[in-house]
Structure 1
Amino acid sequence: MAKKVLKELLINQAWCKGCGICVHFCPKKVLELDDQDKAYAARPEACICCKLCEFQCPDLAIEVIIQE
């Protein structure tokens, strides 16, 4: 099975309520909360495309897009 490669990590800032669940579940510490308590990809190059952030986000504010 080929390694998944991140194409884009979309975070809808308007939907993010800053709960930090995505930050907590990310195994590679890709996500952080900014000074307004909104999630952002601090280290997108470390993303392993596990989609835990996407699955755990209660506001559906995160989408992990994998390269085909």
Structure 2
Amino acid sequence: MAKVQGAIAVNTEVCKGCEVCIPVCAEDVIGMSDNVNRKGYHYAYMKNPEACTGCTNCGIVCPDRAISVYRIKVSA
């Protein structure tokens, strides 16, 4: 049976650093960058990418729709 590996893509210019995505990530994948975007906000990024399951919780709760979630099947 194939395993699913997830990944997120954060539109860093849209993310306002509200951190709503962090507590909904059960796998502790998301962190806040030390860098800032053009508007001066720290933005979300994948701090632990190998743990992402592609559950989409972060994308669903993002008020600005700055997070896109992707899933790929990998061999077990």
Common fold: TM-score over 0.5: yes
Larger Rg: 2
1:61 aligns with 2:72: no
User: Which residue identity does 1:65 align to in structure 2?
Assistant: Y
Q: Which runs of 4+ in 1 moved over 2 A?
A: 1-4
- After TM superposition, the score normalised by the length of structure 2 is 0.78
Unaligned runs of 5+ in 1: none
- After TM superposition, the score normalised by the length of structure 1 is 0.86
Identity %: 39
Unaligned runs of 5+ in 2: 37-41
The root-mean-square deviation of aligned C-alpha atoms, in Å, is 1.6
Tell me what 2:26 maps to: 27
Larger proportion of strand: 2
